Every structure is written in C-alpha cells, then in structure tokens.
Structure 1
Amino acid sequence: MSNSEKSKAFLYKKFYGYVMTIVFRYMKHEMEAEELTNECFVKVFSKINSFSIHDDEVILEKTFKAWIGRIAVNTSIDALRVRKQMYMLDDLNGSDTLHFSVEADNRLEYNDIIALIRELPDIQRSIFNMYEIEGFSHEEISKELGIPESTSRTYLTRAKQKLRKLYASQINLERIQS
C-alpha cells in the first residue's frame, strides 16, 4: 500500500462518522447515506490539492472538518436535486400550519429528534438542516438551492411548525403509553 493510499485510508477512517452524520441528516435511508458518504470521500480525495494546509494543527483539523463538511452538505443537496425529490409544490395542508406550544421536555433523545427531522418533506428538511444545523444564511441557501430567500424563510418556518406538531404528537404518544 502506497503512502497516498494509507493517507486516504486514514482520512476515511478518521472522518467517516463525521461525514456520515451530516449526510444522514439529509437522506431518509441509511443505504443512501452510506453511498453518498462514499461519494463525498471520492470528491474529498479528488479535490484534496485545493485544500489550503495551515501550519497550526488545531486550526488545520478545524478547517479540514469544515471543508469536508461543506462537501458533504453540497453532495447531499445535489443528490436530492438529481433525484427530483425537492419539489417546490406546497406540501402542507392547512392543518399543518397550526401553531403548537411545546413545553421544554428532555424526554426526546438525539435519535428521536433526528427521526422527527427525517419526517419533514425533503425541501423543508434540507433548509432546516442548512439553516439550523449547518449555519447557512438564507442568502446562502437561496444561492445553493436556486430559490428566493423568501422561499427559504417560508420553508424553514413550515419545517419548524411541522417539527412542533410531530414533537407534540410524540410527547402525547409517550404520555399515553406510560
């Protein structure tokens, strides 16, 4: 095994979980996420020469993680576009826009929250992830997805409303079961 192959194997092992976590927030199925994660690493390895190496190891690791994180986000969004799952149709009916007040409750674990996010329609899930988790601005989301900023804001609002509704349903279900 050459040094280049060893370096690739090291990077793959070190950052696989990180990239998979990002991709899995966009994809509904684990197999899709695994395929896209591998696609991300193909892109990372093909574009590695464009990454600027910093002398400080701490800064280097942070900037590298951010760099591969951005590749993971972009790859996920591209996959959703290619699969034509990001329809711009109004995917909510009137009952979905009701407001629910949700009390702070620590009964939901991380996996429960991710499961709720996965129930969002693709466009809402993508915008929610990009804005709330990845830290994109509405302007950046607009450019990345080719939609108006106002549409990004609207879908984010709808995603939050739907999550509140799903969360309230989950809490009520847990109360009934206990």
Structure 2
Amino acid sequence: MLRDEHRANDVLQTVMLKVIKTIASLSDISKFNGWLKRITYNTTIDLIRLNQRLVDVGDEVEFDYATDEVLSHINKPGWDLDTFLAILQERERVVVWLYAIEGLSHSEVANQLNISEQNSRIIFSRAMKSLKTLAADERYSGKKVGDHNE
C-alpha cells in the first residue's frame, strides 16, 4: 500500500512496538492473526494520514461501479492487480484497496481517511477508470488494445 520500502519498514517497527506493549491485552491467542492485521492496518492508515493530505475534489460527476462489477474486473485473468495498483496514485490505491479488497463501504473508507464519502466515491471511480484503461493496454495486460476478449 505504501510503495516505499522505508515507510513500510517504519510501519513494521511501529507495529512490533505496539504488539510488544499491548500483547498482554490480547485475551484469546487464537485471534492473534486478526489482531495483528488490525494493528498493521491502522498503523499504515495513520502513516498515510500524517504524510499526505487528501484533497476533497468536490461534487463532480462520478462513475458508479457496483462491487460485483469491480470484482469481476479485478478477477479477470488479464489483470495483474499488483502492477496496476502500483501505477495508481497513493490515495487511489488506498481507496481501491479498502473498498474493493478489504470490503469497506465508501462511508467507512471516508472515515478511515478523513475525507468525505463523496470524495471516496470519486477517487474510487477515477481509479477504476484508470485501471480499466490499463487493463486494455497491452503493455500491462498482454492483450492488444481494443481486444474485447479480456
């Protein structure tokens, strides 16, 4: 999500410190993986908030993508999700990840990133439009541009 090894290492260090300090509060060891994932997720979002201001883009026309449509595009064989997400801007990548991969609603994404719900929708729509364009580009998908058999 961060696309920067040094920032990712900072998150790892912070997460490990939090785990060491709060492991005693974990009442059920079988929930350790989920607990660790939540700490890592929250720490990553906190770092993004500190290092980047997300600008509210206002009430522009949006392209509304249903969750089923998003998943159908992402799960196509021609989609190399890691490559595509790496090309997106950080805020777009985070919104796509939280909404499409983690399954949060736009309201929840907006709360996590301290932006408006409308902004989350617009950022997501722009990112999906970019991803669809990239998927049609043979440099990224292996398909010829204009190939409708994706």
The answer to whether the superposition gives a TM-score over 0.5 is yes
Q: Report which of the two has the higher share of helix.
A: 1
Relative distance call for 1:135 and 1:41 in structure 2 (3 A) is: farther
Q: Which residue of 1 aligns with 2:111?
A: 143
Question: CA–CA distance in 2 between the matches of 1:143 and 1:89?
Answer: 13
Identify the match of residue 130 of structure 1 among 98, 106, 131. Answer: 98
Per the TM alignment, residue 118 of structure 1 is displaced from its structure 2 partner at its CA by 1.6
Alignment of 1:88 onto 2:59 = no
Question: CA–CA distance in 1 between the matches of 2:2 and 2:94?
Answer: 9
Q: Which residue of 2 aligns with 1:40?
A: 15
The SS at the match of 1:136 is coil
Q: Which residue of 1 aligns with 2:87?
A: 119
Q: How many pairs are equivalent?
A: 129
Q: Which runs of 5+ in 2 are unaligned?
A: 58-62, 64-72, 145-150
Identify the match of residue 106 of structure 1 among 43, 54, 77. Answer: 77
Q: Which residue of 2 aligns with 1:78?
A: 46
Q: Which runs of 5+ in 1 are unaligned?
A: 1-25, 55-59, 91-96
- Per-residue CA shift, 1:22-60, capped at 9, x if unaligned? xxxx11123332332232222222222232316xxxxx2
CA RMSD of aligned residues (A): 2.6
Question: CA–CA distance in 2 between the matches of 1:166 and 1:47?
Answer: 43
Q: Which residue of 1 aligns with 2:121?
A: 153
Relative distance call for 1:172 and 1:122 in structure 2 (3 A) is: closer
- Per-residue CA shift, 1:97-128, capped at 9, x if unaligned? 8xxxx7x85245xxx32121021111111111
Kindly provide the amino acid, as one letter, of the partner of residue 94 in structure 2: S
Question: CA–CA distance in 1 between the matches of 2:123 and 2:116?
Answer: 11
Question: CA–CA distance in 2 between the matches of 1:174 and 1:152?
Answer: 30
Residues 27 and 118 in structure 1, CA contact (< 8 A), matched pair in contact too = no
Question: CA–CA distance in 2 between the matches of 1:172 and 1:140?
Answer: 31
Question: CA–CA distance in 2 between the matches of 1:36 and 1:133?
Answer: 20
Alignment of 1:14-29 (within 5 A): 26-29=1-4
TM-score by length of 2: 0.70
- Per-residue CA shift, 1:79-108, capped at 9, x if unaligned? 112222x43165xxxxxx8xxxx7x85245
Question: CA–CA distance in 1 between the matches of 2:76 and 2:139?
Answer: 9
Question: Which runs of structure 1 show a deviation greater than 6 angstroms over 4 or more consecutive aligned residues?
Answer: none
